[in-house]
Structures are given as structure tokens and as C-alpha cells.
Structure 1
Amino acid sequence: MATPTRSRALSLYRKLLRSARSWPGPVEEKNYIMDESRSLFRQNKNLSDKETIEKSIQEGEIRYEYAWHYKIPYPRLHNFATGTVAENPSRVIGPVYEVPQELV
């Protein structure tokens, strides 16, 4: 991992752990933030493709912003229109995150 990408990832990790300590919700939500952050960073520690790493960092930043904006640390559920992927749940892998257009 290149140094700028590594520093961004570590910065995001520290920011997530700090936010867990100052989270205004119950202890269960604080524990969820810490556990989810640790598990996802450990899961992605061996990524080597720069594009995949950038996408993972971007997803973490978006989840952080959503959590603080809505005061809900869990992934957001989205409503799908009729005839889309949601009608066949086996095609949906994990939560779906909205990526703001300015980041695309």
C-alpha cells in the first residue's frame, strides 16, 4: 500500500475508534462501532489493488458521515424500486451504500 493511501486508512481507523468513544448513543452502539471498525479493517488488511483500497476507504468515510449525520451507526437500508435487484435477495451481497455524486 502506498504511503498516502496507508496514512488515509490509518487516519480513518483512528477517527472511527475516537468516534466510538464520543458516540452519544448507548454502550451497545459504541461497542458496535469499535467491533465493526476492527473487523472490517482486519478483513481488508491484505488488499493490494489500489482501486479496491480507495473504494474501501471511501466506503468507510461515507459510513462515518452517515452515522454522525443520522446518529445511527448501523448500515443504512435503502428502498429499491419494483423490478430491481431487491426482489431477488440472493443477488444482494451485503449492505448497499449510496456514494455521493461529488465522489464519483
Structure 2
Amino acid sequence: MTISCKLRLLLARANVERARIGEPALSLRRLADESSVSLSVLAALHTGKSQRIDYTTIDHLLTYFNRYFLVTTDDLLNWERAPEHNLPLYPKKDTQKTSYA
């Protein structure tokens, strides 16, 4: 899949910040309770087994993590071009002129 979720990284960053302010570590269960995103959705995103994510989930996660640091969709989601799509966007123009004389 070419789109992945970086929930693991955000969770680690949040835990560093929580430790700095003396709060306990954030588990997936606690994140589910505090963000209103179901534990099963978080577990699928955390392990990379999720096939889809809805806008409400994205909104809840971004809202939650913005409590600790500035976060955008770029911090949550990553897109990489699939190898078979690494073709040039436009075909190269033929630089050789054909003569019909």
C-alpha cells in the first residue's frame, strides 16, 4: 500500500511530551478513551493493517495530538509513489525529425 499511517510516531512523540509534564504514558486504550477513536481502529492503524481511515478519525486524532504539539495530516499520513507508477508524467518528445522528402 502506498499510503501509511504514522500513528506509532505520533504516539511516541506524545509519550515524550507526557513524560516531560509528568503524565503517565499513553497506551492505545487510553488514546481510544481520550480521543473517541475506537481501540480496534487505533490497533489497525498502529500495526499498519488498516485498509481505510475516515475523515472523522483523522479529525479526532489531529485534534487529540494537537494538545501536545502542532500536528497536521502530513504528520499522520504518508504517501509514497508505488514503484510501477514511477514513470515520467509526460512522455519524452521525439527529438529526431522525420523527413518525408
Instruction: Give the TM-score, by structure 1 length.
Output: 0.38
Specify which structure has the bigger relative contact order, considering alpha-carbon pairs within 8 angstroms and separated by 6 or more residues.
2
Instruction: Give the TM-score, by structure 2 length.
Output: 0.38
Larger gyration radius, structure 1 or structure 2: 2
Q: Which has the higher strand share?
A: 2
